[in-house]
Amino acid sequence: MEKFFIIANWKSNKTTDEAIEWLREISKIKDHNLKIILCAPFTALYPLKLLIEKSGLPIKLGAQDISPFPDGAYTGEISARMLKDLGVGYVLVGHSERRRYFGETDIQVAQKVRMALDFEIIPIVCVGEFNQFINILNKLETKELAKIIFMLEPPGAISVQTGPVGQGEAESVQNVVEMIKKMKRFTPASNFFYGGSVKSHNITNFLSQPEINGVVTGTASQNAQEFIKMIENAAKI
């Protein structure tokens, strides 16, 4: 039976060779009942898709962003149709780093959610705090809400924003649970993930909470051995 989701967000890291090497290391652990989603850079998606298909690895591909527009004259954008073609089943939308460095707005987030859903890609909508959640909620329809996943990522808990890479402090489990309970009242049909400095030593604290359907791990997921430890620990819950 499938249990929890564990999402690896590599951020803007890894060449195709490095991506393939990571996947080869991960392939050593096959027996788990977790749902693993790998959000890789666009450039690594195709080689990863080929390798996943060939090896039968129980890993689904995700993207880290998606165009708010369909195919067309939008230079530099990667459309939902292109992602679907690469076997992408999930996409992070509105990550705090996209908002912070690229000025992404709630309106764009809602457009991206719509594009993803049109191509049956599940959007993982990132929200840093309650007001942002409400703003996005107001831009979506009830039937859309049932299909999306919200990822609570308090900005102070993202590891690279609180000090040296990988040294961040996760939000307290109690705070996360309280915030998710509050948000869930507005959209009971949605699933909720937590993201922010999730590592092998704290992953079970989050996943053992019934309110938390999955975790997103960024910096720590880039190291295959650390990611394997996370999977092994989560599989014991």
- Enzyme catalytic residues: 95, 153
The only residue of 106, 168, 202, 224 in contact with ligand PGA, by rule CB under 6 A = 168
Residue nearest to ligand PGA (CB): 218
Nearer to ligand PGA, 62 or 68 (CB): 62
Strand, coil or helix: 149: strand
Residue 219 is a binding residue for ligand PGA (CB under 6 A): yes
Residue ranges of alpha helices (H) inside the chain are 16-26, 42-55, 80-85, 96-102, 106-118, 130-137, 142-145, 173-184, 203-207, 224-235
By CB under 6 A, which span of 53-61, 105-113, 216-224, 229-237 interacts with ligand PGA? 216-224
154 touches ligand PGA (CB under 6 A):
no
SS (H, E, C) 188-221: CCCEEEEECCCCCCCHHHHHCCCCCCEEEECHHH
The site that binds ligand PGA (CB under 6 A) totals a number of residues, namely 15
> Contact with ligand PGA (CB under 6 A): which of 37, 196, 203, 227?
196
**Binding residue for ligand PGA (CB under 6 A) from 45, 66, 115, 220?**
220
Q: How far is the CB of 137 from ligand PGA (least distance, A)?
A: 20
Site string for ligand PGA, 1-20 (x = CB under 6 A): --------x-----------
Q: What is the footprint of ligand PGA within residues 78-107 (CB under 6 A)?
A: none
- If one asks whether residue 195 binds ligand PGA (CB under 6 A), the answer comes out as yes
Return all residues near 20 (Cβ < 8 A) that are at least 6 apart. 47, 48, 51
| Beta bridge partners of residue 6, listed in sequence order | 36, 215
Count of CB atoms situated within 10 Å of the CB of 164: 8
Q: Which residues of 19-34 are buried (b: 16+ CB within 10 A; e: fewer)?
A: bbebbeebbebeebeb
- Residue 212 as a binder of ligand PGA (CB under 6 A): the answer is no
Residues near ligand PGA, by CB under 6 A: 9, 153, 158-160, 168, 195-198, 216-220
